Structure 1
Amino acid sequence: MLRIFVLITLLASPLSLFAAPVEKIYFGSCAKQHKPLPIFDAINQDKPDVFVFLGDNVYSSYFDISQMPKQYQQLGGHKGFKKLRAQSEVIAIWDDHDYGQGDGGKYFKDKEKSRKYMLDFWREPKDSPRYHQDGIYTSYLYGEGEQTIRVILPDLRWNRDNLYSVDKATYETERQPKFMGPYIPSTNPSDQLLGDTQWQWLEAELKKPATIKIIGSGIQLLNEFSGWETWANFPHERKRLLEFIAKEKISGVLFISGDTHFGDISKVSKDLPYALWEITSSGLSEKWKEVSPNKHRIGKGVNVVNYGFIEVDWQQADPVIDMGLKGKDGNVIKHFSLRLSQLSADQKT
């Protein structure tokens, strides 16, 4: 097992040192704890250095939040999960099902309870600011020197304003038959997804040194289809992030996301210093009958259970980054490779 010393990077952080560079960061979302979850066997066979749970890590009872510890206990009891936790660094952010309210946002009355249940299960240090700040956002720095990876996990629930929907008749006649979802984009620039304090934190994290910066989002970020929950529900927030990356010439950014119950790979390059890529891995147990529209999709969507992978070959003069999705048998479903230089803000690719 690779020995990794982890620094949780919050509003401020000291220098971190590690025993070895991290080469394998895997991720997934949407794991119903009462199902068998055989996909953990394939993940464990790959022996990732780090595994990121991107949300819906358990499916809670919306009507009785007090049942959530038992649901986490059920996930923790899976043999494959125990092995993953024993051999790999495991980190997590939440989405609506482990937040405790379907498509929930800042007005969820029991979010303090669900925060404690969540952080306790994922073994967050008791003195961590995540227990007290305005959300459970955090980041982790792995490696040292030129072989560093920063994993940034924003909280897209705690401060999120209400969503907007089409009217009931439109949904039932036009949206629902096509599995298109009820939501429409906000046109109010004061509506927030992250909140002011978290925006300051996120921008500061992106400016911190790291060769590769992985933003782990509970919901899709690059996809502009807003029928289901995505950053596109708040287009001004999505635009703000992409414009910040471009303006500040932030190199090395990759996006990973979950929630959808289908796998996806997206690419956006317009008005950016380099192409931004996003891998959506969902779900570890769940799959959806329809794949939503995505004009930025590369190839086809994946409607089987899957997990995501990012593997970095640091031994190359221009390191190679392999990324994609694998199925429950561990076989590659979708895959693409980049050179690190293709994520440089100093050149257009």
Structure 2
Amino acid sequence: MLLDSCNCSRWFVALACLLLATSNARGEEPALSRIAFGACAKQDKPQPIWEAVVEMQPEAFLFLGDNIYGDTDDMQVLKAKWEQLGAQPGYQKLKATCPILATWDDHDYGRNDAGADYPLRRESQQIFLDFFEVPQDDARRQQEGVYSARIFGPEGKRVQIILLDARYHRSPLKRSTKSAEPGEGYRGIYAENTDEGATMLGPAQWKWLEEQLRKPAEVRIIGSGVQVIAYENGWETWGNFPKERERLFRLIRDTRASGVVLLSGDRHLSEISRLAADDPLGVGYPLIDITSTSLNAPSGNMTKSGVRFANELNRYRVGLTYFDINFGAVQIDWSEADPTLRLQIREASGQVVLQQRLKLSELQAK
């Protein structure tokens, strides 16, 4: 029997609802194919980029920190700044489009470059959790730090999203006495802290992370407020604590966690860094760190022709650096026998300006 277009449409909607209900009955999250992410949003400035993010139709959005610029010891002021973000029309559209998962960096944590020394971190954490409507019975309401993890999708298409907290327990930074050689690019103010016991995550979070990496998943997205692979720029990165950076790579390798992709923010620039499989610190397959910032506050020097640029060391960089407003995207094509991952930086209108394309088979622990 032939179906007219109206009846056919109703049939497909009914079938989709049935499949979703069946999936939910089994306790499965739907598979993720489109994930957007970003960092560094000035809450008191226009945020037109949300139009491009929503147009991409992401199935999840990941905030990687500096989601607002709080920078205060007054919790009422901090709360009001979060409310400014919440009032942004574009953010409201995003919230209606997909789930939002978040971690923080220094400015939404409460103080520039702060770590465990920030005296109001407990109060700030509850304001953060309130803004993102985290349930009262969620583990983050009791733990120290906003780190979290979640697995989406059925077996064979599982995407694990791990968001680290590189602020709450982080040890003090050390100042650098070095300056960059001419032609080597800009250099920040920090040196390596190799003190015994210096930490990025703290003991409880390290234990939790190992437990997460041992869970079964096909793709693992680890979000960090600061860059993980790039470290020579002298600003805040995992490289400020080289032993901790090595520990992270070793943990990925020792747990035989396949499918890991790193996402990071903070820098007000975007770039893709790649740690080769055979690097002395390597995890057994190519490890990508895709840095996307800023959502509405571009950086770099402006040439007379209107091009933003800056010269900065990063031996792991693949391709160019992008300085204008942007967001990141992870696209996964599950329809292929060997799924394709596209790790992208997209500019303000949604066009792809940087990309790394990988097969899932390339990200398997050896």
Whether 2:175 is the aligned partner of 1:155: answer no
Q: Which residue of 2 aligns with 1:11?
A: none
Instruction: Report the Cα distance in structure 2 between the residues aligned to 1:292 and 1:16, rounded to whole angstroms.
Output: 47
TM-aligned CA deviation for residue 280 of structure 1 = 0.3
Paired position in structure 1 for 2:283: 272
Q: Is the 8 A contact 1:313 1:319 kept in 2?
A: yes
CA drift at 1:116: 1.1
Q: Which residue of 2 aligns with 1:8?
A: none
Q: Which residue is 1:282 aligned to? A: 293
1:204 paired with 2:211, answer yes
2:257 paired with 1:250: yes
Deviation at 1:207, TM superposition (A): 0.8
Counterpart amino acid of 2:171?
D
**Aligned pair 1:123/2:130, yes or no?**
no
Written as runs of structure 1 = structure 2, the 5 A alignment for 1:296-307 is: 296-307=316-327
Correspondence for 2:345: 325
Identity %: 37
CA contact (8 A) 2:79 2:127 kept: yes
Residue of 197, 210, 219 corresponding to 1:190? 197
Q: Which of 53, 69, 78 is the aligned partner of 1:43?
A: 53
Equivalent of 2:147, from 116, 120, 137? 137
In 2, Cα distance between the equivalents of 1:267 and 1:125? Answer: 37
Shift of 1:226: 5.2
Q: Which residue of 1 aligns with 2:241?
A: 234
Alignment partners' CA distance in 1, 2:255 and 2:140: 27
Q: Secondary structure at the match of 1:300?
A: strand
1:95 maps to which of 105, 111, 114:
105
Structure-2 separation of matches of 1:298 and 1:228 = 19
CA 1:118–1:146: 2 relative to 1, 3 Å: same
Q: Which residue type is aligned with residue 240 of structure 2?
A: N
Structure showing greater Rg? 2
- Give the residue type in structure 1 aligned to 2:205: Q
Question: CA offset at residue 179 of structure 1?
Answer: 4.1
Q: How many residues are treated as equivalent by the alignment?
A: 331
CA distance in 2, matches of 1:38, 1:204: 39
1:146 equivalent in structure 2: 156
Cα 1:178/1:322, change in 2 over 3 Å:
closer
Matched, 1:342 2:362: yes
Once residues 145 and 184 of structure 1 are traced to their aligned partners in structure 2, the CA distance between those partners, rounded to angstroms, is 43
- In structure 2, what is the equivalent of residue 215 of structure 1? 222
Call closer, same or farther: CA 1:16–1:219 in 2, change over 3 Å.
farther
Contact 2:40–2:65, Cα closer than 8 Å, also in 1 = yes
SS state at 1:98 partner = helix
Cα distance in 1 for residues equivalent to 2:64 and 2:283: 26
CA shift, 1:65, in A, is 3.4
Check whether the contact 1:31–1:284 (CA below 8 A) recurs between aligned residues.
yes
TM-score scaled by length of structure 2: 0.86
Deviation at 1:247, TM superposition (A): 2.5
Q: Displacement of 1:61 after TM fit? A: 3.5
Q: Check if 1:79 corresponds to 2:99.
A: no
Q: Is the 8 A contact 2:297 2:325 kept in 1?
A: yes
Counterpart in the other structure of 1:261: 268
Q: How large is the RMSD of aligned CA atoms in angstroms?
A: 2.1
The amino acid that maps onto 1:133 is: Q
Equivalent pair of 1:265/1:280 in contact (CA under 8 Å) = yes
Give CA-to-partner distance per residue, 1:258-310, whole Å, 9 cap, x none. Answer: 00000010000114311101110001012221353211000111111110000
Residue range with higher mean Cα deviation, 130-139 or 99-108: 130-139
Deviation at 1:87, TM superposition (A): 1.1
Q: CA 1:63 to 1:272, structure 2 compared with 1: closer, same or farther past 3 Å? A: closer
What amino acid is the match of 1:219?
Answer: V
Please, which runs of 5 or more residues in structure 1 have no aligned partner? 6-14
- Residue in structure 2 matched with residue 181 of structure 1 by the alignment: 188
Letter of the 1:293 counterpart: L
Q: Which residue of 2 aligns with 1:17?
A: 28
Structure 1 runs (4+) deviating above 2 angstroms are: 2-5, 61-66
- Residue 189 of structure 1: how far off its partner (Å): 3.1
In structure 1, C-alpha distance between the alignment counterparts of 2:275 and 2:330, rounded to whole Å: 18
Note the C-alpha offset of 1:213.
0.5
Q: Distance in 1 between matches of 2:317 and 2:185?
A: 19
Q: Quick one: distance in 2 between partners of 1:63 and 1:248?
A: 40
